[in-house]
Amino acid sequence: MQRTVLLLLALSFLLLAVSSFVEERVTFHDHQVLRFSIRNETERDQVLAVVKKHRLDLWAATPEWIDVRVSPDERQHLQGLLVPYRRMIRNLQALLDQEAQHIQVWIFLPCWKF
């Protein structure tokens, strides 16, 4: 009886420890990557100020453009900007899922030796 109680306590502890490491899957459904075309220093400062203020995900920046990943909720922060942009990625999660499928295909292909 005492062994059973100790075993149940040990299993409960193990289950609690494992569950603390299992995290909810993060998805990027409808997240977009926008490329802002920078025509002057003022526009660069405006975009970077919004990125910093709202802690947006800055993907890349060059003197000519700035790429920013935004969630559907974060898009509202960019509405006041008069800097031209184009959508580089329409739905980031769809792209990630496609890439994951491609990787799985390559992992499960048999290794052929010639």
User: Is the residue at 75 inside a domain?
Assistant: yes
Type and span of the H or E element at 44: helix 41-53
Domain membership of residue 52 (yes or no) is yes
Task: Please check whether residue 79 lies inside any domain of the structure.
Answer: yes
Residue 114 lies in a domain: no
Please check whether residue 38 lies inside any domain of the structure.
yes
Task: Write the pLDDT tens digit of every residue in 33-85.
Answer: 999 999 999 999 999 999 999 999 999 999 999 999 999 999 999 999 999 99
Three-point CA angle 97, 28, 48, nearest 5°: 130
Q: Does a structural domain hold residue 18?
A: no
Domain harbouring 67, CATH code: 3.30.70.1150
Question: Taking phi first (over 0 means left), then psi (-120 to 50 degrees means alpha), and beta for anything else, what does residue 5 get?
Answer: alpha
Domain of 101 in residue numbering reads as: 32-108
pLDDT digits (tens, 9 = 90+) for 58-72: 999 999 999 999 999
25 three-class SS: coil
Q: Which of 70, 61, 69 is nearest to 43 (CA)?
A: 61
pTM of the entire predicted model: 0.71
Q: Is residue 21 part of a domain?
A: no
